[in-house]
Homo-oligomer: A and B are copies of this chain.
Amino acid sequence: MNKRFVRQKTHALNELAAAERVGDADESILPLLSKINALEDYYTTSSCAGRILLFQDLGSKKEDKFLGAWHRRVEYGEIEAALKPAEGVVWFRMEPAIIHVIARGEEAAARMLKTAYSCGFKRSGIASVKPDRWLIEVLSTERVDAPVMSDEKLLVDEGYLRFLVEIANEKYEACAKKLARLETALKDLV
């Protein structure tokens, strides 16, 4: 039993509980996070079931600015309402599910990584290694990264935007299926 790991795990679980209370957690993923956190060798930090974004890329010197962010399926009307003339390049993006898991050590990290891969999280890897703190990024492959506006002018028509919404929603569902597979596969990690 390692004291530092246990202390850091307690801290992370308190932060997650606080985020839940203020509605600042991605609810659809909470049952899975609870199950991971119930395992002795692991705990989770920032995680997301997948998200759909509209953001302004203002060039490498400036930070991206969000016009909209949804941690769920979106409707076309929501994208239409958020898409206002904006400088720089506006991108429609779908990012896959990501779960940050801290593992107690090398052996626990390897087991989590293997399980993640087997459930379809093919971009998973170990993001950093410290004693008693192996940070695993459980990451899937679904992506959309399409520019839709440049210098306040739309680059595409409504039909294309509707297609992007449809395909981003499909990819969000594909992530949901992988997350469900992971939830089931956790029993092999005990």
A147-B146, A164-B147, A174-B60 known; A129 vs B106 contact (CB < 8 Å): yes
Q: Please, what's the 1-or-0 string for A131-165, where 1 marks a CB less than 8 Å from any CB in chain B?
A: 00000010000011111001000011001100110
B167 touches A160 (CB 8 A): no
A125-B126, A129-B106, A129-B109 known; A167 vs B147 contact (CB < 8 Å): yes
In Å, the complex CA distance between A146 and B155 comes to 12
Q: Count this chain's copies in the assembly.
A: 2
In Å, the complex CA distance between A8 and B22 comes to 52
Partner of A126, one of B129, B146, B160, B174: B129
In Å, the complex CA distance between A147 and B144 comes to 8
Q: Does A81 contact B (CB under 8 A)?
A: no
CB neighbours (8 Å) of A147 from chain B are: 144, 146, 163-164, 167
A156 touches B160 (CB 8 A): yes
Q: Does A99 contact B (CB under 8 A)?
A: no
In Å, the complex CA distance between A145 and B174 comes to 17
In Å, the complex CA distance between A111 and B145 comes to 31
Q: Please, what's the 1-or-0 string for A160-181, where 1 marks a CB less than 8 Å from any CB in chain B?
A: 1001100100000010000000
A137 touches B155 (CB 8 A): no
Among all A-B residue pairs, the 4 with the closest Cβ atoms: A125-B125, A146-B146, A126-B126, A145-B145
